[in-house]
Every structure is written in structure tokens, then in C-alpha cells.
């Protein structure tokens, strides 16, 4: 049997790291070395939800009657979120799979990838149910070129690892190849920047609109997506980052610093674009959104121990985001609306003793 399919000669079960060990053999729970990653996998498995849990049909009226300003902001945001979650769903496991050595990491990345599928299907369901002609809006969304430009930096990193990943899977590259090592860890850390910074900044205009009472089902669904991102995907990224080999970190650090700065710049540019047509939102303007971007970037600068050229806000400039990002503070009565929070509550009970380090 080809060793990439099943490696019966594998000898590093008890010593292998997360990535780039000998080719995979048995998936085993005997040699577990990453208990926190296992916990993340189990927690997300229990949090599994479905894109059809929410009835988005009420949103059709809101899209028809809201101001052009709100309409534009909602569509611009949906475009980016839908596209980026599609990329996440198609890249997380497919790209990382050839490199993953540990069973815990394989299980966790599989579950996260499944979760990204739920996210992107949710955006698709929002569009399918909210418009009389979803095909037209589909085209409208794909025509927003700024949303792909916002991912320009990220797409360069993903293109590199896409090629390296396939070459590695075909046996054309080895684990000792520094380009392979750097591509894996640059992908992991860049994805963390997307999830911790770009997604968190994209949620702010959505929640600002939903704060006014509009698009309630979208608010609830996106709130679940935000919770998955912040409490699970970001925590996974931070946990995995703890295991980056020192030599690889020294090599990729300057490039990652430039990537983070570029991502911050992309977000600041997007904040300008979002309000470019004089569009207005209650509770968020261009300045506050930029401050929110920098406030989220602060967590990454701290994690990577990078100096920032920006003045990073000490306090959260968008207080209302705390309510939306902490689901327990926004419990609706179950009779009133689709309540996406029941699963979280059952997960919480199971999570006693687990500390998730969300930095705000
Ligand atoms: Fe996602
Ligand atoms: Fe994610």
C-alpha cells in the first residue's frame, strides 16, 4: 500500500508533532499529545448546527423596505462573508490534510471545515430566502470586486500553499524542505489573522444594522457564526501557534508581520469603501469601524509580539459588539424567535473547567 494512503511502517506515533511527521498510519487515541486541540474538536462537534435552523423569509421585507444605505451595507458585507467562508470551507482541510500528522489536529480541522461549510451555506440561504430573484443578487454579490480585493494578501498565501500542498501530497517535496515548513505555518497564522481580524471587523456593520431591529434572523445566524469563529476557530489557531518550531517562526516572522500590516490596511480601506457613498449606520461610522479594526488587530500584535505602527485603541470602540459576541447576554425567549443558542447552553455544561482565552 502507498504510504500516503496508509503507512504501516510508521514509527513516530509517540513523538510526532502536529504537522510534517512520517506519513500517516492509524488514527489513534492512544498517543494523544494535544489535549486542548482534542477538547476544541469535541466542543465544536457538539456545537454543530444547520443553516436551515433560521427562517430568513422575514428578511425579504426588510430588504425591500430598508434604506438604500442599509441595503448597500448589508449586500457589501454579505458578499465578503459569503466568499470568504466559501474559501475557508474549501481550503482548511483540503490544503492542510497532506501535512497533518496528529489525529487530534486532523479531527479538529475536519470539524472546523464542516463548520465553515455551515457558515457559507448560511449566507447562501440568507440570499436564497431574502430576495424574489436570488440569481440577480448572486450576480450582484459576485460583481463587488472590492470584496475580493480585500482578500488579496490572503489569496497570495493560499495560492502558495495550494501548490506546495499538492506537490507534497504527490511526494514531490519533503518535510525537510523549508519552503514546505514555511508555507504550512504561514497559512496557519494568516488564517488566524483572517478569523480574528477580518471576520470580526466584518461582523460589526451587520450587528449595527441588526441592533436597530432589522434583519433579526440574519443577526441571530451571524451571531452563531461569530461565536464559532471567535470561540473555536481562533482558539484553535492560537493553540496550534503555541507549537510552531522556533526556527520556522524566526524564518516566517518578517513575512507574517508584513502580511498582518497588509491585512490591517485592507480592512482600513474596506471601512472607507463601506461608507464611501455617504452611507450611514446607527452606532458605526468610518472612524469607529477603523478603530474597531485596530482594536481587533491588537490581539494579533500581542500574540505575535509584533510592534505596531498604528495607535491601537485601549478600549473597545464598539461597545454593542460585546453583546453580540457574547451570546449569553442576548437570550431571547424561545417562543419569540428562532433561538440558535440552545446548543451553546448544552455545550457550556460540558465545558466546565475549560478556559477559552478570548481577549477583549
Ligand atoms: Fe467561518
Ligand atoms: Fe473560520
pLDDT band at 360; cut points 50, 70, 90: low
Ligand 1 centre distance from Cα of residue 321 (Å):
18
Domain that holds residue 172: 35-330
Is the residue at 20 inside a domain?
Answer: no
Ligand 1 centre distance from Cα of residue 111 (Å):
12
Q: What percent of the chain has pLDDT over 90?
A: 78
Predicted confidence (pLDDT) per residue in 247-269, tens digit: 999 999 999 999 999 999 999 99
CATH number for 178: 1.10.620.20
Ligand 2 centre distance from Cα of residue 94 (Å):
14
Ligand with minimal distance to 112 CA: 2
Ligand 2 centre distance from Cα of residue 42 (Å):
16
The alpha carbon of 142 is separated from its chain's Cα centroid by a whole number of angstroms, namely 20
Is the residue at 341 inside a domain?
Answer: no
Ligand with minimal distance to 233 CA: 2
Is the residue at 255 inside a domain?
Answer: yes
Lowest mean pLDDT among 138-147, 194-203, 328-337: 328-337
Is the residue at 24 inside a domain?
Answer: no
The structural domain count of the chain equals 1
Predicted confidence (pLDDT) per residue in 266-300, tens digit: 999 999 999 988 777 888 999 999 999 999 999 99
Whether 143 shows a pLDDT value over 60: the answer reads yes
Helix (H) and strand (E) counts in the chain? 15, 0
Predicted confidence (pLDDT) per residue in 333-352, tens digit: 444 445 454 344 333 344 44
Ligand 1 centre distance from Cα of residue 188 (Å):
15
CA–CA separation, 59 and 213 (whole Å): 11
Report which of 193, 83, 97, 199 is spatially closest to residue 144, judged by C-alpha positions. 83
Is the residue at 357 inside a domain?
Answer: no
Ligand 1 centre distance from Cα of residue 7 (Å):
33
Provide the pLDDT for residue 279.
77
Q: Which is it for the CA torsion 241, 164, 151, 78, positive or negative?
A: negative
Q: CA angle, 108 as apex, 105 and 111 as ends, to 5°?
A: 150
Is the residue at 16 inside a domain?
Answer: no
Residue 269 CB coordination number (10 Å): 14
Q: Which three cell numbers stand for residue 53?
A: 435552523
CA–CA separation, 157 and 186 (whole Å): 7
Is the residue at 116 inside a domain?
Answer: yes
Predicted confidence (pLDDT) per residue in 2-12, tens digit: 888 999 999 99
Is the residue at 160 inside a domain?
Answer: yes
Ligand 2 centre distance from Cα of residue 228 (Å):
7
Amino acid at each position: 500500500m502507498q504510504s500516503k494512503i496508509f503507512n504501516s511502517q510508521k514509527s513516530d506515533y509517540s513523538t510526532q508533532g502536529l504537522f510534517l511527521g512520517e506519513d500517516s498510519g492509524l488514527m489513534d487515541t492512544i498517543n494523544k499529545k494535544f489535549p486542548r486541540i482534542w477538547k476544541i474538536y469535541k466542543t465544536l462537534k457538539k456545537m454543530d448546527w444547520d443553516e436551515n435552523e433560521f427562517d430568513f423569509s422575514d428578511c425579504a421585507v426588510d430588504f425591500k423596505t430598508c434604506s438604500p444605505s442599509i441595503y448597500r451595507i448589508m449586500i457589501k458585507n454579505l458578499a465578503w462573508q459569503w466568499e470568504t467562508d466559501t474559501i475557508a470551507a474549501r481550503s482548511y482541510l483540503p490544503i492542510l490534510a497532506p501535512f497533518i500528522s496528529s489525529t487530534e489536529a486532523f479531527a479538529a480541522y475536519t470539524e472546523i471545515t464542516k463548520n465553515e461549510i455551515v457558515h457559507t451555506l448560511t449566507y447562501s440561504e440568507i440570499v436564497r430566502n431574502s430576495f424574489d430573484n436570488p440569481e440577480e443578487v448572486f450576480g450582484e454579490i459576485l460583481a463587488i470586486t472590492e470584496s475580493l480585493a480585500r482578500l488579496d494578501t490572503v489569496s497570495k498565501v493560499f495560492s502558495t500553499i495550494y501548490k506546495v500542498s499538492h506537490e507534497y501530497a504527490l511526494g514531490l517535496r519533503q518535510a525537510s524542505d523549508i519552503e514546505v515548513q514555511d508555507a504550512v505555518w504561514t497559512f496557519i497564522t494568516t488564517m488566524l489573522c483572517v478569523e480574528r481580524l477580518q471576520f470580526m471587523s466584518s461582523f460589526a456593520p451587520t450587528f449595527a444594522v441588526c441592533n436597530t431591529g432589522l434583519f433579526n434572523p440574519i443577526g441571530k445566524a451571524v451571531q452563531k457564526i461569530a461565536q464559532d469563529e471567535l470561540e473555536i476557530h481562533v482558539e484553535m489557531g492560537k493553540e496550534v501557534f503555541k507549537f510552531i518550531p522556533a526556527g520556522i517562526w524566526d524564518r516566517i516572522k518578517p513575512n507574517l508581520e508584513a502580511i498582518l500590516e497588509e491585512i490591517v490596511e485592507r480592512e482600513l480601506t474596506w471601512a472607507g469603501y463601506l461608507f464611501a457613498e455617504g452611507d450611514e449606520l446607527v452606532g458605526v461610522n468610518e472612524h469607529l469601524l477603523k478603530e474597531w479594526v485596530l482594536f481587533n488587530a491588537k490581539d494579533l500584535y500581542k500574540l505575535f509580539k509584533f510592534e505596531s505602527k498604528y495607535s491601537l485603541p485601549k478600549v473597545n470602540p464598539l461597545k454593542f459588539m460585546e453583546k453580540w459576541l457574547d451570546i449569553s447576554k442576548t437570550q431571547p425567549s424561545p417562543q419569540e424567535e428562532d433561538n440558535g443558542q440552545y446548543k451553546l447552553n448544552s455545550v457550556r455544561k460540558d465545558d466546565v473547567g475549560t478556559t477559552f482565552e478570548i481577549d477583549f
